A and B are shown apart, each in its own frame.
Chain A
Amino acid sequence: MLWLLFFLVTAIHAELCQPGAENAFKVRLSIRTALGDKAYAWDTNEEYLFKAMVAFSMRKVPNREATEISHVLLCNVTQRVSFWFVVTDPSKNHTLPAVEVQLAIRMNRNRINNAFSLNDQTLEFLKIPSTLAPPTDPSVPIWIIIFGVIFCIVIVAITLLILSGIRQRRRKNKEPSEVDDAEDKCENMITIENGIPCDPLDMKGGHINDAFMTEDERLTPL
């Protein structure tokens, strides 16, 4: 009698948890990819931990606080490591709706990942999308700050150059009107003493020779 009951229970369980069954989810772990040498082997103890984590997640859903580890069924464990799981209600006849399981897993995804030292990519719940962490956006984009700095430097440099150009031209315009030779000589000496000719374009002593104008007539007409 007991044997019959046992077979009945396992038969029902087998029906409830099947690949592609209603409310069943496939889980895929890539332990070696994640941990390399420190990879642990997947055995029944790890399965027990998994069932415990799923039960824990379900307990956080309102109205499902009575979920026990025995309500979580695993099946079809492969070498990959991958398997299917369902969560049954306390009567063990029906499976809990997929939406509730999805919600529970999504809310506690981080805790489940940490229990197995894995992350969203190496512990995959197919059909349960994970919420990705958005990139941290500072209030002012960094590039505008750098742009602003360089922009200001360039504007300041342009203004300085323009102002010094205007000042230079004003000085050049004032010079022919200066009668003071001594000051002229002083200025000359200063420029030569420095060794750098400050104003090679200065035409203080130059005159415009009108005889050489009119470049139109430089060539004889054809």
Chain B
Amino acid sequence: MEKARPLWANPLQFVFACISYAVGLGNVWRFPYLCQMYGGGSFLVPYIIMLIVEGMPLLYLELAVGQRMRQGSIGAFRTISPYLSGVGVASVVVSFFLAMYYNVINAWAFWYLFHSFQDPLPWSVCPLNGNRTGYDEECEKASSTQYFWYRKTLNISPSIQENGNVQWEPALCLLLAWLVVYLCILRGTESTGKMEQLANPKAWINGATQIFFSLGLGFGSLIAFASYNEPSSNCQKHAIIVSLINSSTSIFASIVTFSIYGFKATFNYENCLRKVSLLLTNTFDLEDGFLTASNLEQVKGYLASAYPSKYSEVFPHIKNCSLESELDTAVQGTGLAFIVYTEAIKNMEVSQLWSVLYFFMLLMLGIGSMLGNTAAILTPLTDSKIISSHLPKEAISGLVCLVSCAIGMVFTTEAGNYWFDIFNDYAATLSLLLIVLVETIAVCYVYGLRRFESDLKAMTGQAVSWYWKVMWAGVSPLLIVGLFIFYLSDYILTGTLKYQAWEASQGQLVTKDYPAYALAAIGLLVASSTMCIPLVALGTFVLRRLRRGDAAPVA
């Protein structure tokens, strides 16, 4: 018998750990964006259907596998079939990629948090230019929040080719972020439990994808968490609770995000009107305060007819202010979190307080997800006897954190944000779909659905309802195959991949093509995790052949 496996102190700790892992930044910055792009409230229909058909069954499956096999992802799948331990390895590789780039977000959150204790907030004013007669040019063309993000935080270079140096400020924050993560995982996973347009096919696909990634399936984190459970705990109940809480957090976050969108849109709209009024007042020397929002159109018409030549001169500079167009600008990802939200915050009363609270929340979400991630990497490592016999738990955690931190310094260089986008878009998407597909097929067909069902019944004392069995064996794998085919064809059809680069002279983003080596890096990212599955299967086959060849003469 091996050493007894550490356990969660109580089932609530396990549920909280899962929630804290599942509820992450994606709930805040991806789900509201998808809602806005695909028809607002009607996006909830494909989302909830996919939750019931795909999310909950797969979450239950992963938790049940972890609880039954009582090992991390590599060990769990080796138990099912030695040829399939490649799935576990692929999970660990993907988790490792995620750990590398995800903590950079926490570093940025720390940076903004530390800068929130100033009056005025540093992203609310533009710095002065060289001879102090005006504001910095780049800041004038863009906005002060964009300037603070692109210039002060990232110090971004104009393209991915220009690497630049490692910026010491974000590097320090990244170091701090990794130290905090190390502090939390130091004692092992058990200490991380904390008190987380209907007809448009794209809406359905995005609903499925969002549920899939939002729950964090396929990284091995859920298997790792569940492996520390008592065998008799009710993982069906836990799966339902975690997925429901994850979805309600997403919906709640969208309500907040939509009100932030509205606030920002109204503010920008009124600002736009004020600028147009000022321009007209100055050009035509009208009385100060004469032009208001209500008579603007009237006066414009009058001026156009009374002074046609002068009006046509100033006409190109007059922007058409529209509240609808402001509301239509939807942003996701780091742009939402660090630009749109900070812009809204800087216009509120007591902005320092809101800023501190907001970035503290981002940090909590980010670190919670990081802990689940590192659990996915550490659990297989500490399970493996070779490694855990030589090094204590603290040293393994420290080593993983150190390596990830060192590689993560790439993301603090001047071109770091472009590499971050590459990792964000490509490191996990395709590989995870494949991993979860192989997981489902492995459990249902290689291990055997009946055998798994009887195991669960023996473990938890409850029979597995027919609904879960139908989903596991049929519907969910088909859905995943569908998603997989869709994404592959999408990548192939769009041809060469492009990215958004920040142009300092224009003060906005421009689209550029990836150079060849970046495309190679993307290919390597996707291949290194997906190829694990066939390669390990092949390796195991060869090893067994060799061993059988050795064993035959002896027997």
Contact = CB atoms under 8 A, between A and B. Distances in A.
8 contacts: A82-B285, A135-B125, A147-B114, A147-B172, A150-B176, A158-B186, A162-B186, A221-B548
A207 to B, nearest CB: 8
A158 B285 contact: no
A219 B127 contact: no
Nearest to A162: B394
B115 interface: yes
A201 B133 contact: no
A154 B133 contact: no
For the side of the interface on B, what is the size category? Answer: 35 or more
**Which has the most chain B C-beta neighbours within 10 Å: A28, A80, A134?**
A80
Contacts of B281: 80
Interface stretch (B1-9, B138-146, B452-460): B1-9
B160 to A, nearest CB: 28
Closest 8 CB pairs of A and B: A143-B114, A32-B289, A129-B133, A78-B285, A80-B285, A79-B287, A146-B114, A32-B288
Interface string A22-36: 000000111111000
A130 B114 CA distance: 32
Given A201-B6, A221-B548, 14 more contacts: A31-B288, A79-B287, A80-B285, A129-B133, A131-B133, A143-B114, A147-B173, A158-B179, A161-B183, A162-B394, A200-B4, A206-B4, A208-B1, A219-B82
Given A129-B134, A134-B128, A79 B286 contact: yes
Interface in B72-90: 79, 81-82
Contacts of A80: 281-282, 285-288
A161 B135 CA distance: 49
Interface in A204-222: 206, 208-209, 212, 215-216, 218-219, 221
A212 B1 contact: yes
Contacts of A135: 125, 127-128
A200 B3 CA distance: 11
A154 B179 contact: yes
A134 B132 contact: yes
A41 B333 CA distance: 51
Interface string B243-287: 000000000000000000000000000000000000001100111
Contacts of B308: none
Nearest to A151: B176
Interface string B163-180: 000000000110010011
A212 B117 CA distance: 59
A142 B120 CA distance: 12
A142 B133 contact: no
Interface string B1-29: 10110110000000000000000000000
A154 B134 contact: no
A161 B128 contact: no
Nearest to B81: A219
Contacts of B111: 143
Contacts of A131: 132-133
Contacts of B512: none
A208 to B, nearest CB: 7
A26 to B, nearest CB: 10
A116 to B, nearest CB: 13
For the side of the interface on A, what is the size category? Answer: 35 or more
Contact of A81 (B117, B134, B176, B288): B288
A30 B173 CA distance: 45
Contacts of B450: none
A161 B114 CA distance: 26
A1 interface: no
A132 B130 CA distance: 11
Contacts of A155: 179
A201 B128 CA distance: 62
Contact of A33 (B3, B128, B289): B289
B451 interface: no
A90 interface: no
Nearest to A221: B544
Interface string B416-446: 0000000000000000000000000000000
B133 A151 contact: no
A161 B118 CA distance: 33
Interface in A110-160: 129-132, 134-135, 142-144, 146-147, 150-151, 154-155, 157-158
B182 interface: yes
A155 B285 CA distance: 63
A38 interface: no
A131 B128 CA distance: 10
B4 A201 contact: yes
Contact of A165 (B4, B187, B285): B187
Given A218-B79, A219-B82, A169 B392 contact: yes
A203 interface: yes
B132 A132 contact: yes
Contact of B183 (A82, A157, A215): A157
Contacts of A162: 186, 394
A161 B110 CA distance: 23
B115 A143 contact: yes
B288 A33 contact: yes
A218 B85 CA distance: 15
Contacts of A142: 114-115, 117-118
A131 B131 CA distance: 8
B114 A28 contact: no
Contacts of B289: 32-33
